[in-house]
A and B are shown apart, each in its own frame.
Chain A
Amino acid sequence: MRNSGAMLILTFIAILILQAAGVSPPGKPRLTSCRSPEKETFTCWWEPGGDGGLPTTYALYYHLENSETVYECPDYRTAGENSCFFNKNDTSLWVNYNITVVASNALGKNISDPVEVDVVYIVQPNTPEHVTAVVVHDEQGPFVRVSWEKPRTADTRSGWITLLYQLRVKQEKDKEWEEYNAGMQKYYNVFSLHPDKEYMVQVRCKPDHGFWSEWTQTTYVKMPDYITRERSLWIMITIFFVFIVVILTWTLNVKRNSVKLCLLPAVPGPKIKGFDKQLLKSGKSEEVFNTLVIQGFPPTTDYDNLLVEYLEVFDNEEQELVLDGKDLSEDCMKSKSPSDIDSGRGSCDSHTLLLEKCMDGREGSGSNQHQYSQHGETRWASTESSESQGPEPGSPDSANGRGKTWPVVFSSPQPQPHHHYPVGAAKPAYHSVPEILNHLSPHAMSSNYHQLNHQDILQQERRFSKPACRHSQSYNQFNLDGIDTSAPGVAPSPSLEYVEVQRVNPENMLLLRPLSDPNREPEGSDCTREDYSKVKEVTSNNILLLQRDMSHQCVDDYSQADQCTTQQPPHPCKPAVHQSNSGMPQEAIRVMGNGYVDSTVLINLAPST
């Protein structure tokens, strides 16, 4: 009892001393792996745990399964340091080995953990041998044939072990290997290697149940520099196409003009006369388009001219014209010009003129129109042969000087002393008031029609005498209907006499009264004044604006007017507004400079029927 206690204490002290000295029992060894290269032998390796500062020995012990007999490793040397080699006699397959390693030194020993090993499952063959890689030239291109041999130790011949091979290929610069499984055969053809490159080849093997062997040493193989059939074909195709392209380009170049025309047809530029493209480019559109403006278009209507041209004077068939045949004939001959286009031929056809017998007046109208076709301003200045008559110092000039003219409505010849009436068969074409005013139909108002004698005009100064303060019941009624009534008391006299407008009665009738009206009141004799009233204009309301002559005679009128207050027409010096129920078109009549009323407007604007 005491000894054991003392022994323990001593041992404890010894251990402490030893530890202080740095020595200890060995560390626990560990079996790292056991491998069999051919399934006939195997080797186990261990690593020492630490020698504890003292020389340590290792021993491997094993026992088979279901057996308690412990054997020690038969061979420590063959396999190297810390290994145990089991030779054929000691190797049994399909049997578990229980292996332990014991490390022992002066101070103690240490036993590793046991490891169960069945040799069949720890087979790792040696590397294949004699790896060769040969370039084989084939008609389709060269390839590499890699061949090798089985590891020497593996007995595949008897079928004891079955090996599966694997090889890998890569170029020096590649990172990844290309692996191929060769199965149990001992050669392999590698295709699709690049020409003129060097490749590295390695092979390894594995049993059907086991571990892969190590890779063999690298075998180098260099591919020859060759052009694959495929590549040569592509080269030929490329050359062919390049050739075609060159030919096409050259052809296009030669024919570039026609090609240009074909692809880019010329865009026609603007072909506007007077259109300046440069101006267009400069930008100002006004300038550009100004050039397109033709001066004088559209033609501004000079109604004066037109109207004058179309001015017609037609005579009433029932009217007899007492003319100075000689003079008239002369004038007619001279002035007659059937070729005058503007001499009122159209007006003949015009229904508005209310011509009863156009044919009668055609000749005359033609000449008349010719005469009247002059511009208003020139009429007076006309130096035609018609001047043979000579301007009467009196009336025309005075009339002209005054600028007062009779409205054509009433009498055309009167203000134009130069113009002669056609003689002969041609009767002067007068515009009778009813005719002019009445556009519907020419109505002869023989009884009321007063002819005005041109001659009388020239020779005498016809004046419209003011009936003065007499309201004559005899009046000429002019209305649309074409009154055929004759003014009572107004006998149609063969002689020309003037008609004066007495007044306009409320019934929209112009009351005319001949100057030679015997019914005139004596007071009216004083009223014999030259009293012209001209139509100033026709307003839109079918109102004829008459304008009295502003002359000294007016004064007389005034005096006369005083006498006739009740029945006086409106203030003589004031424009008399007479309503005419003419039915004329509502447009205003332009009064020309010489006092003529431009009746062409009336004609033209009257509804054509």
Chain B
Amino acid sequence: FGLSLPAVAVLLVALLCLDPHCRVGSAPICAHGPSGCHIPSLADLFDRVIQHSARMHSLSNDLHSEFEQYFLPSKNHIGKIYRKCHTSNILTPNGKDNAQKLAREELTEVILKLLMAWRDPLFQLHQSMAHQQDFNSFSSNKALEMGDMAHELRKGVEKVAEKMRVLGMLGNSVTGLSAAEAMLPLSDSGEAMSDYELLYCFRRDSNKVQNYLKILKCRIVPEHDC
């Protein structure tokens, strides 16, 4: 034979590669199911989503308080009566019973609708706050973060819905929101809402979202915290 050492090494490598099972390729993450890597469960997804919504709501709450503190000294002045929020035409349950009566698909859809409805207004809010010199940088950043979080939350909820659909929990009645659903924050009178009104409305809607998500979670995955 008289094979030299490098030749032997090459041969070994070739042998290994000839093995049909020995393949070097890119495998998708978690391609082999739960045993392969950790796939977040529905409960985990819900937890993440709920945390997101909690964070979002706290941001909106802070911004609203700041607004109220610095720009509207009197709490209960007459002029405080607002115009309707642009999301008022979305039917949302206003009580626990009503919320529990809704099916999970509807509930999910409501959540998604709400989140969708606020995508553009939040962006607008951030823009207007950034331009105004009355706001400090913190408020502007909060508004920006709020907008991003709303976006993330929507994505998350869509994933949850997807997950549920996969698991058979959701029927097919939930349809994807079309672009037509997206509404512009125009009041009945057609005037643009002020920043304060936007904040006021969003604070409420973020609370709704959080609440609805919790109900949904406890209805679907009632292991803990319920």
A residues engaging B (CB < 8 A)?
39-40, 65-66, 88, 91-95, 113-116, 118, 120, 155-160, 162, 184, 208-209
Contacts and interface: CB of A to CB of B under 8 A. Distances in A.
A115 B76 contact: yes
A158 B226 contact: yes
A92 B80 contact: no
Interface stretch (B19-27, B89-97, B147-155, B166-174): B89-97
B218 A159 contact: yes
Contact of B96 (A65, A66, A160): A160
The B interface is mostly helix, strand or loop, or mixed, namely helix
Contacts of A158: 96, 100, 215, 218-219, 226
B54 interface: yes
A92 B81 CA distance: 17
A116 to B, nearest CB: 6
B95 A91 contact: yes
Nearest to A183: B225
B164 interface: no
Contacts of A159: 214-219, 225-226
A208 B54 contact: yes
A65 B75 CA distance: 15
B204 A94 contact: yes
Contacts of A94: 92, 94, 204, 207-208
A95 B94 contact: yes
B211 A160 contact: yes
B204 A88 contact: no
Contacts of B211: 160
B84 interface: yes
Contacts of A65: 81-82
A162 B99 CA distance: 16
A162 B96 contact: no
Contacts of B128: none
B160 to A, nearest CB: 14
B113 interface: no
B124 interface: no
A65 B81 CA distance: 7
B76 A114 contact: yes
Contacts of A40: 95-96
Contact of A156 (B99, B100, B204, B226): B226
A93 B94 CA distance: 5
B61 A160 contact: no
A425 to B, nearest CB: 126
Nearest to A156: B226
A71 to B, nearest CB: 16
Given A157-B226, A209-B57, A88 B95 contact: yes
Contact of A92 (B76, B94, B218, B222): B94
11 contacts: A94-B94, A94-B207, A94-B208, A95-B94, A158-B215, A158-B226, A159-B217, A159-B225, A159-B226, A160-B214, A162-B214
B42 to A, nearest CB: 15
B225 A162 contact: yes
